[in-house]
Amino acid sequence: DNLEQSYLFSTIARKVREYSEAHPEADIIRLGIGDVTRPLVPAVIDALHAAVEDQAKQETFHGYGDEQGYGFLHEALVGYYKTHGVELATNEIFISDGAKSDLGNILDIFGTDNTVLVPDPVYPTYVDDNVTDGRKIIYGRTSQENGFLGMPDDSVKADIIYICSPNNPTGAAYTREQLKAWVDYAKKNNAVILYDAAYECFITDPALARSIFEVEGARECAIEICSFSKIAGFTGTRCGYTIVPHELEREGMNLNKLWLRRQTTKFNGVPYVVQRAAAAVFTESGMAEIQANLDYYRQNAKVIADALDECGVWYCGGKNSPYIWLRCPGGMKSWEFFDWLLENCGVVGTPGVGFGECGEGYFRLTAFGDAEKTKVAAQRIKAAIQTL
Ligand code: MLT
Protein backbone atom coordinates (compact mmCIF):
# COMPACT_ATOMS: atom_id res chain seq x y z
CA ASP A 1 0.00 0.00 0.00
CA ASN A 2 1.15 3.51 -0.72
CA LEU A 3 0.33 6.52 1.38
CA GLU A 4 -1.97 8.95 -0.44
CA GLN A 5 -0.10 12.10 -1.34
CA SER A 6 -2.11 14.26 1.03
CA TYR A 7 -4.78 13.84 3.70
CA LEU A 8 -8.26 13.83 2.13
CA PHE A 9 -9.48 16.95 3.90
CA SER A 10 -6.33 18.88 3.00
CA THR A 11 -6.88 18.04 -0.67
CA ILE A 12 -10.47 19.25 -0.48
CA ALA A 13 -9.46 22.47 1.30
CA ARG A 14 -6.91 23.17 -1.45
CA LYS A 15 -9.44 22.53 -4.24
CA VAL A 16 -12.01 24.81 -2.60
CA ARG A 17 -9.40 27.53 -2.08
CA GLU A 18 -8.42 27.38 -5.75
CA TYR A 19 -12.06 27.47 -6.83
CA SER A 20 -12.90 30.50 -4.69
CA GLU A 21 -9.81 32.36 -5.90
CA ALA A 22 -10.97 31.78 -9.48
CA HIS A 23 -14.62 32.65 -8.58
CA PRO A 24 -14.49 35.32 -5.86
CA GLU A 25 -18.22 35.98 -6.31
CA ALA A 26 -19.24 32.39 -5.49
CA ASP A 27 -21.25 31.95 -2.28
CA ILE A 28 -19.73 28.70 -1.07
CA ILE A 29 -21.45 26.53 1.53
CA ARG A 30 -19.20 23.97 3.24
CA LEU A 31 -20.75 20.63 4.04
CA GLY A 32 -17.46 18.80 3.60
CA ILE A 33 -15.35 18.26 6.69
CA GLY A 34 -17.23 17.03 9.74
CA ASP A 35 -16.46 20.09 11.82
CA VAL A 36 -19.09 21.46 14.18
CA THR A 37 -20.41 25.03 13.94
CA ARG A 38 -22.36 25.52 17.18
CA PRO A 39 -20.39 27.23 19.97
CA LEU A 40 -19.57 25.47 23.24
CA VAL A 41 -22.61 25.31 25.54
CA PRO A 42 -22.92 27.62 28.61
CA ALA A 43 -22.21 24.83 31.15
CA VAL A 44 -18.90 24.12 29.41
CA ILE A 45 -17.98 27.78 29.09
CA ASP A 46 -18.72 28.36 32.80
CA ALA A 47 -16.49 25.41 33.74
CA LEU A 48 -13.72 26.73 31.48
CA HIS A 49 -13.88 30.17 33.11
CA ALA A 50 -13.88 28.69 36.61
CA ALA A 51 -10.90 26.48 35.75
CA VAL A 52 -8.98 29.46 34.43
CA GLU A 53 -9.61 31.18 37.78
CA ASP A 54 -8.34 28.04 39.57
CA GLN A 55 -5.08 28.38 37.69
CA ALA A 56 -4.77 31.99 38.87
CA LYS A 57 -4.76 31.13 42.58
CA GLN A 58 -2.06 29.48 44.66
CA GLU A 59 -4.51 27.15 46.48
CA THR A 60 -6.22 25.85 43.34
CA PHE A 61 -3.38 25.95 40.85
CA HIS A 62 -2.71 22.71 38.91
CA GLY A 63 0.65 21.76 37.46
CA TYR A 64 1.24 18.37 35.87
CA GLY A 65 -1.73 16.08 36.25
CA ASP A 66 -1.79 12.32 35.83
CA GLU A 67 -1.05 11.53 32.19
CA GLN A 68 -4.24 9.45 31.97
CA GLY A 69 -6.46 12.30 33.15
CA TYR A 70 -8.12 13.66 36.29
CA GLY A 71 -10.35 11.56 38.53
CA PHE A 72 -13.23 14.04 38.19
CA LEU A 73 -13.40 13.41 34.43
CA HIS A 74 -13.02 9.63 34.82
CA GLU A 75 -15.92 9.68 37.30
CA ALA A 76 -18.06 11.76 34.94
CA LEU A 77 -17.42 9.27 32.11
CA VAL A 78 -18.15 6.27 34.36
CA GLY A 79 -21.51 7.93 35.06
CA TYR A 80 -22.18 8.58 31.37
CA TYR A 81 -21.44 4.96 30.43
CA LYS A 82 -23.75 3.76 33.22
CA THR A 83 -26.61 5.50 31.43
CA HIS A 84 -26.16 3.04 28.59
CA GLY A 85 -25.72 0.07 30.87
CA VAL A 86 -21.92 -0.15 30.79
CA GLU A 87 -19.87 -0.48 34.00
CA LEU A 88 -16.32 0.84 33.77
CA ALA A 89 -13.54 1.22 36.31
CA THR A 90 -12.04 4.71 36.46
CA ASN A 91 -8.57 3.39 35.61
CA GLU A 92 -9.84 1.84 32.38
CA ILE A 93 -10.34 5.35 30.98
CA PHE A 94 -7.47 7.37 29.50
CA ILE A 95 -8.08 11.03 28.63
CA SER A 96 -6.40 12.39 25.50
CA ASP A 97 -6.44 15.37 23.18
CA GLY A 98 -8.83 13.63 20.78
CA ALA A 99 -9.81 10.42 19.06
CA LYS A 100 -7.68 11.02 15.98
CA SER A 101 -4.47 11.06 18.06
CA ASP A 102 -5.43 7.97 20.03
CA LEU A 103 -6.43 6.05 16.89
CA GLY A 104 -2.88 6.51 15.66
CA ASN A 105 -1.06 6.28 19.01
CA ILE A 106 -2.78 3.08 20.16
CA LEU A 107 -0.88 1.26 17.42
CA ASP A 108 2.31 1.76 19.45
CA ILE A 109 1.23 -1.19 21.61
CA PHE A 110 0.78 -3.50 18.59
CA GLY A 111 3.54 -5.11 16.56
CA THR A 112 3.99 -4.12 12.93
CA ASP A 113 3.65 -7.80 11.97
CA ASN A 114 -0.05 -7.66 12.88
CA THR A 115 -2.60 -7.81 10.06
CA VAL A 116 -5.27 -5.15 10.12
CA LEU A 117 -8.85 -5.40 8.89
CA VAL A 118 -10.27 -2.04 7.84
CA PRO A 119 -13.77 -1.50 6.48
CA ASP A 120 -14.06 0.13 3.07
CA PRO A 121 -15.19 2.92 2.97
CA VAL A 122 -14.06 4.39 6.30
CA TYR A 123 -12.37 7.34 8.04
CA PRO A 124 -9.04 7.60 6.17
CA THR A 125 -6.68 7.85 9.16
CA TYR A 126 -7.03 4.12 10.02
CA VAL A 127 -5.42 3.22 6.72
CA ASP A 128 -2.86 6.04 6.78
CA ASP A 129 -1.73 5.19 10.34
CA ASN A 130 -1.12 1.56 9.39
CA VAL A 131 0.46 2.28 6.01
CA THR A 132 2.92 4.56 7.81
CA ASP A 133 3.81 1.76 10.26
CA GLY A 134 4.03 -0.87 7.49
CA ARG A 135 1.27 -3.24 8.66
CA LYS A 136 -0.54 -5.48 6.20
CA ILE A 137 -4.06 -4.18 5.55
CA ILE A 138 -7.08 -6.22 4.48
CA TYR A 139 -10.13 -4.29 3.31
CA GLY A 140 -13.59 -5.36 4.42
CA ARG A 141 -15.55 -4.32 1.38
CA THR A 142 -19.04 -2.94 1.89
CA SER A 143 -21.69 -1.74 -0.53
CA GLN A 144 -25.20 -0.44 -0.95
CA GLU A 145 -26.38 -4.09 -0.97
CA ASN A 146 -25.25 -4.76 2.62
CA GLY A 147 -26.18 -1.25 3.75
CA PHE A 148 -22.45 -0.41 4.03
CA LEU A 149 -22.26 -2.61 7.13
CA GLY A 150 -19.66 -5.37 6.82
CA MET A 151 -20.05 -8.59 8.79
CA PRO A 152 -17.27 -11.01 9.79
CA ASP A 153 -15.98 -13.44 7.18
CA ASP A 154 -14.43 -16.59 8.67
CA SER A 155 -12.02 -16.96 5.78
CA VAL A 156 -10.36 -13.64 6.72
CA LYS A 157 -7.71 -13.67 9.46
CA ALA A 158 -6.83 -10.39 11.13
CA ASP A 159 -5.17 -9.36 14.39
CA ILE A 160 -6.58 -5.84 14.60
CA ILE A 161 -10.12 -4.98 13.49
CA TYR A 162 -11.36 -1.42 13.06
CA ILE A 163 -15.03 -0.73 13.55
CA CYS A 164 -16.55 2.74 13.32
CA SER A 165 -20.21 2.88 14.35
CA PRO A 166 -22.09 5.05 13.52
CA ASN A 167 -19.80 4.94 10.56
CA ASN A 168 -17.86 7.80 9.11
CA PRO A 169 -18.59 8.34 6.19
CA THR A 170 -21.72 6.22 5.59
CA GLY A 171 -23.69 6.91 8.76
CA ALA A 172 -24.52 3.19 8.96
CA ALA A 173 -24.60 1.85 12.53
CA TYR A 174 -24.49 -1.63 14.03
CA THR A 175 -27.09 -3.20 16.27
CA ARG A 176 -25.94 -4.99 19.43
CA GLU A 177 -26.58 -8.36 17.72
CA GLN A 178 -24.38 -7.44 14.77
CA LEU A 179 -21.60 -6.27 17.07
CA LYS A 180 -21.89 -9.54 19.00
CA ALA A 181 -20.92 -11.35 15.77
CA TRP A 182 -17.80 -9.17 15.56
CA VAL A 183 -16.93 -9.79 19.20
CA ASP A 184 -17.31 -13.57 18.71
CA TYR A 185 -15.14 -13.42 15.59
CA ALA A 186 -12.46 -11.35 17.36
CA LYS A 187 -12.35 -13.76 20.29
CA LYS A 188 -12.14 -16.79 17.98
CA ASN A 189 -9.24 -15.19 16.08
CA ASN A 190 -7.51 -13.70 19.12
CA ALA A 191 -7.92 -10.31 17.46
CA VAL A 192 -8.42 -6.90 19.08
CA ILE A 193 -11.24 -4.60 17.96
CA LEU A 194 -10.44 -0.88 17.83
CA TYR A 195 -13.91 0.60 18.17
CA ASP A 196 -14.32 4.22 17.11
CA ALA A 197 -17.41 5.56 18.88
CA ALA A 198 -16.96 9.24 17.97
CA TYR A 199 -20.54 9.55 16.68
CA GLU A 200 -22.36 7.52 19.39
CA CYS A 201 -24.12 10.66 20.63
CA PHE A 202 -26.20 10.77 17.43
CA ILE A 203 -27.85 7.41 18.12
CA THR A 204 -31.54 7.56 18.95
CA ASP A 205 -32.60 4.05 17.82
CA PRO A 206 -32.54 1.83 20.95
CA ALA A 207 -31.51 -1.26 18.92
CA LEU A 208 -28.17 0.36 18.08
CA ALA A 209 -25.16 0.13 20.39
CA ARG A 210 -23.66 3.31 21.87
CA SER A 211 -20.60 1.42 23.11
CA ILE A 212 -19.02 -1.90 22.15
CA PHE A 213 -18.98 -2.69 25.86
CA GLU A 214 -22.76 -3.10 25.73
CA VAL A 215 -21.94 -6.40 24.05
CA GLU A 216 -21.11 -9.46 26.13
CA GLY A 217 -17.50 -10.56 25.74
CA ALA A 218 -16.25 -7.22 24.41
CA ARG A 219 -14.15 -6.58 27.53
CA GLU A 220 -11.85 -9.43 26.47
CA CYS A 221 -11.32 -8.21 22.91
CA ALA A 222 -12.03 -4.49 22.43
CA ILE A 223 -10.63 -1.02 22.96
CA GLU A 224 -13.04 1.91 22.56
CA ILE A 225 -11.90 5.31 21.37
CA CYS A 226 -14.18 8.30 21.64
CA SER A 227 -14.19 12.07 21.47
CA PHE A 228 -15.78 15.21 22.87
CA SER A 229 -15.68 16.79 19.41
CA LYS A 230 -19.04 15.66 18.10
CA ILE A 231 -20.98 15.29 21.36
CA ALA A 232 -20.00 18.71 22.70
CA GLY A 233 -18.30 20.67 19.92
CA PHE A 234 -14.71 20.23 21.16
CA THR A 235 -13.12 20.15 17.68
CA GLY A 236 -11.14 23.27 18.55
CA THR A 237 -10.91 22.65 22.31
CA ARG A 238 -9.48 19.09 21.97
CA CYS A 239 -10.43 16.27 24.27
CA GLY A 240 -11.08 12.57 23.80
CA TYR A 241 -10.66 9.29 25.63
CA THR A 242 -9.73 5.66 25.20
CA ILE A 243 -11.13 2.77 27.19
CA VAL A 244 -8.92 -0.28 27.68
CA PRO A 245 -10.61 -2.92 29.88
CA HIS A 246 -8.56 -4.75 32.51
CA GLU A 247 -9.49 -8.15 31.05
CA LEU A 248 -7.84 -7.40 27.69
CA GLU A 249 -4.68 -9.50 27.38
CA ARG A 250 -2.65 -10.69 24.44
CA GLU A 251 0.49 -12.82 24.43
CA GLY A 252 0.68 -12.66 28.22
CA MET A 253 0.54 -8.87 28.24
CA ASN A 254 -2.14 -6.71 29.80
CA LEU A 255 -3.06 -4.03 27.26
CA ASN A 256 -4.36 -1.61 29.90
CA LYS A 257 -0.95 -1.68 31.61
CA LEU A 258 0.83 -1.44 28.29
CA TRP A 259 -1.20 1.60 27.21
CA LEU A 260 -0.65 3.25 30.60
CA ARG A 261 3.09 2.67 30.15
CA ARG A 262 2.96 4.20 26.67
CA GLN A 263 0.93 7.23 27.75
CA THR A 264 3.01 7.97 30.85
CA THR A 265 6.13 7.86 28.68
CA LYS A 266 5.03 9.80 25.61
CA PHE A 267 2.15 11.99 26.77
CA ASN A 268 1.79 14.57 29.51
CA GLY A 269 -1.95 14.82 29.73
CA VAL A 270 -4.71 17.17 28.59
CA PRO A 271 -4.84 20.71 30.06
CA TYR A 272 -6.62 20.94 33.41
CA VAL A 273 -9.00 23.63 32.10
CA VAL A 274 -10.01 21.46 29.13
CA GLN A 275 -10.69 18.47 31.37
CA ARG A 276 -12.88 20.64 33.61
CA ALA A 277 -14.77 21.78 30.51
CA ALA A 278 -15.20 18.17 29.37
CA ALA A 279 -16.51 17.06 32.77
CA ALA A 280 -19.15 19.82 32.60
CA VAL A 281 -20.66 18.10 29.53
CA PHE A 282 -22.03 15.40 31.84
CA THR A 283 -23.70 17.69 34.38
CA GLU A 284 -27.47 17.99 34.20
CA SER A 285 -27.36 21.39 32.51
CA GLY A 286 -24.48 20.33 30.24
CA MET A 287 -26.37 17.29 28.99
CA ALA A 288 -29.53 19.32 28.33
CA GLU A 289 -27.61 22.04 26.48
CA ILE A 290 -25.64 19.67 24.26
CA GLN A 291 -28.87 17.87 23.34
CA ALA A 292 -30.18 21.14 21.90
CA ASN A 293 -27.09 21.34 19.67
CA LEU A 294 -27.37 17.69 18.64
CA ASP A 295 -31.02 18.31 17.74
CA TYR A 296 -29.96 21.30 15.66
CA TYR A 297 -27.63 19.06 13.64
CA ARG A 298 -30.26 16.32 13.41
CA GLN A 299 -32.64 18.86 11.88
CA ASN A 300 -29.97 19.78 9.31
CA ALA A 301 -29.63 16.09 8.43
CA LYS A 302 -33.39 15.94 7.91
CA VAL A 303 -33.35 19.00 5.65
CA ILE A 304 -30.71 17.39 3.42
CA ALA A 305 -32.40 13.98 3.48
CA ASP A 306 -35.79 15.50 2.55
CA ALA A 307 -34.24 17.29 -0.44
CA LEU A 308 -32.64 14.04 -1.64
CA ASP A 309 -35.94 12.20 -1.18
CA GLU A 310 -37.66 14.81 -3.32
CA CYS A 311 -35.28 14.23 -6.20
CA GLY A 312 -35.13 10.46 -5.83
CA VAL A 313 -31.46 10.15 -4.84
CA TRP A 314 -30.45 7.04 -2.86
CA TYR A 315 -28.77 7.71 0.47
CA CYS A 316 -28.15 6.18 3.88
CA GLY A 317 -27.23 7.77 7.22
CA GLY A 318 -28.72 11.06 8.33
CA LYS A 319 -30.49 9.18 11.12
CA ASN A 320 -28.38 8.16 14.13
CA SER A 321 -25.56 9.97 12.36
CA PRO A 322 -24.57 13.49 11.26
CA TYR A 323 -23.48 12.17 7.85
CA ILE A 324 -25.58 11.65 4.75
CA TRP A 325 -24.04 9.20 2.31
CA LEU A 326 -25.58 9.51 -1.13
CA ARG A 327 -25.22 7.84 -4.47
CA CYS A 328 -23.93 10.38 -7.01
CA PRO A 329 -26.76 11.19 -9.41
CA GLY A 330 -26.42 10.76 -13.17
CA GLY A 331 -23.87 7.95 -12.74
CA MET A 332 -21.19 10.47 -11.81
CA LYS A 333 -18.02 9.38 -10.07
CA SER A 334 -17.19 10.83 -6.66
CA TRP A 335 -14.71 13.55 -7.69
CA GLU A 336 -16.77 14.35 -10.79
CA PHE A 337 -19.76 15.02 -8.54
CA PHE A 338 -17.55 17.05 -6.18
CA ASP A 339 -16.66 19.42 -9.06
CA TRP A 340 -20.22 19.43 -10.41
CA LEU A 341 -21.67 20.30 -6.99
CA LEU A 342 -19.14 23.04 -6.40
CA GLU A 343 -19.71 24.61 -9.83
CA ASN A 344 -23.49 24.23 -9.98
CA CYS A 345 -24.46 24.73 -6.35
CA GLY A 346 -21.45 26.27 -4.63
CA VAL A 347 -21.65 23.39 -2.16
CA VAL A 348 -18.62 21.54 -0.83
CA GLY A 349 -18.99 17.90 0.14
CA THR A 350 -16.63 14.95 0.46
CA PRO A 351 -16.05 12.48 -2.39
CA GLY A 352 -16.87 8.93 -1.26
CA VAL A 353 -13.83 7.46 -2.99
CA GLY A 354 -11.66 9.47 -0.58
CA PHE A 355 -12.79 6.99 2.10
CA GLY A 356 -11.89 3.89 0.09
CA GLU A 357 -12.44 2.24 -3.29
CA CYS A 358 -15.91 1.04 -2.28
CA GLY A 359 -16.91 4.66 -1.86
CA GLU A 360 -16.48 5.38 -5.58
CA GLY A 361 -19.71 6.78 -7.00
CA TYR A 362 -20.86 7.97 -3.58
CA PHE A 363 -20.60 11.26 -1.73
CA ARG A 364 -20.80 12.52 1.86
CA LEU A 365 -22.60 15.62 3.15
CA THR A 366 -22.45 16.67 6.78
CA ALA A 367 -25.19 17.98 9.00
CA PHE A 368 -22.75 20.04 11.10
CA GLY A 369 -23.31 23.25 9.11
CA ASP A 370 -25.26 26.38 9.90
CA ALA A 371 -29.01 25.70 9.69
CA GLU A 372 -29.86 28.56 7.31
CA LYS A 373 -26.98 27.74 4.99
CA THR A 374 -27.88 24.06 5.05
CA LYS A 375 -31.41 24.95 3.92
CA VAL A 376 -30.01 27.03 1.05
CA ALA A 377 -27.61 24.23 0.11
CA ALA A 378 -30.40 21.65 0.14
CA GLN A 379 -32.57 23.83 -2.13
CA ARG A 380 -29.71 24.39 -4.56
CA ILE A 381 -28.83 20.68 -4.64
CA LYS A 382 -32.45 19.70 -5.26
CA ALA A 383 -32.88 22.25 -8.05
CA ALA A 384 -29.61 21.28 -9.76
CA ILE A 385 -30.21 17.52 -9.57
CA GLN A 386 -33.68 17.96 -11.01
CA THR A 387 -32.12 19.40 -14.19
CA LEU A 388 -30.04 16.26 -14.78
C1 MLT B 1 -14.50 14.16 8.93
O2 MLT B 1 -14.94 15.06 8.23
O3 MLT B 1 -14.52 12.98 8.58
C4 MLT B 1 -13.98 14.58 10.25
O5 MLT B 1 -13.22 15.71 10.11
C6 MLT B 1 -13.28 13.50 10.90
C7 MLT B 1 -12.62 13.96 12.15
O8 MLT B 1 -13.31 14.21 13.12
O9 MLT B 1 -11.39 14.04 12.14
Bridge partners, residue 162, by sequence: 194
Pocket test for ligand 1, best of 123, 226, 229 (most atoms within 8 A of CB): 123
Cβ atoms 7, 354 nearer than 8 A: no
Please work out whether the CB of residue 13 comes within 6 Å of at least one atom of ligand 1: no
Mean pLDDT score of the chain? 97
250 burial via Cβ count (<10 Å: 0-12, 13-18, 19+): middle
**pLDDT beyond 90 at 172:** yes
Please work out whether the CB of residue 34 comes within 6 Å of at least one atom of ligand 1: yes
In this prediction, residue 131 carries a pLDDT of 93
Whole-model pTM above 0.85?
Answer: yes
- Ligand 1 midpoint to CA 167 (Å): 11
Q: What is the DSSP string of 262-284?
A: HHHHH-----HHHHHHHHHTTSH
- Ligand 1 midpoint to CA 307 (Å): 24
**Residue 6 binned pLDDT confidence (cut-offs 50, 70, 90):** confident
Of 334, 359, 360, 361, the C-alpha closest to 349 is 334
Which residues have C-beta within 8 Å of that of residue 141, sequence separation ≥ 6? 120, 150, 357, 358
Q: pLDDT tens digit string along 308-332?
A: 999 999 999 999 999 999 999 999 9
**pLDDT beyond 70 at 142:** yes
Q: What percent of the chain has pLDDT over 70?
A: 99
- Ligand 1 midpoint to CA 195 (Å): 16
Q: Report the nearest atom of ligand 1 relative to the CA of 169.
A: 3
**pLDDT beyond 90 at 177:** yes
Q: pLDDT tens digit string along 196-209?
A: 999 999 999 999 99
Closest residue by CA, ligand 1 atom 7:
34
Cβ atoms 138, 118 nearer than 8 A: yes
Closest residue by CA, ligand 1 atom 6:
34
Please work out whether the CB of residue 171 comes within 6 Å of at least one atom of ligand 1: no
Closest residue by CA, ligand 1 atom 4:
34
Of 129, 121, 137, the C-alpha closest to 100 is 129
Please work out whether the CB of residue 168 comes within 6 Å of at least one atom of ligand 1: yes
Please work out whether the CB of residue 170 comes within 6 Å of at least one atom of ligand 1: no
Q: Report the nearest atom of ligand 1 relative to the CA of 33.
A: 2
- Ligand 1 midpoint to CA 33 (Å): 6
**51-56 mean pLDDT:** 98
Please work out whether the CB of residue 33 comes within 6 Å of at least one atom of ligand 1: yes
- Ligand 1 midpoint to CA 255 (Å): 27
In this prediction, residue 3 carries a pLDDT of 78
Distance from C-alpha of 230 to C-alpha of 210, rounded to nearest angstrom: 14
**272-285 mean pLDDT:** 98
Pocket test for ligand 1, best of 7, 8, 9, 230 (most atoms within 8 A of CB): 9
Q: What percent of the chain has pLDDT over 90?
A: 97
**Residue 5 binned pLDDT confidence (cut-offs 50, 70, 90):** confident
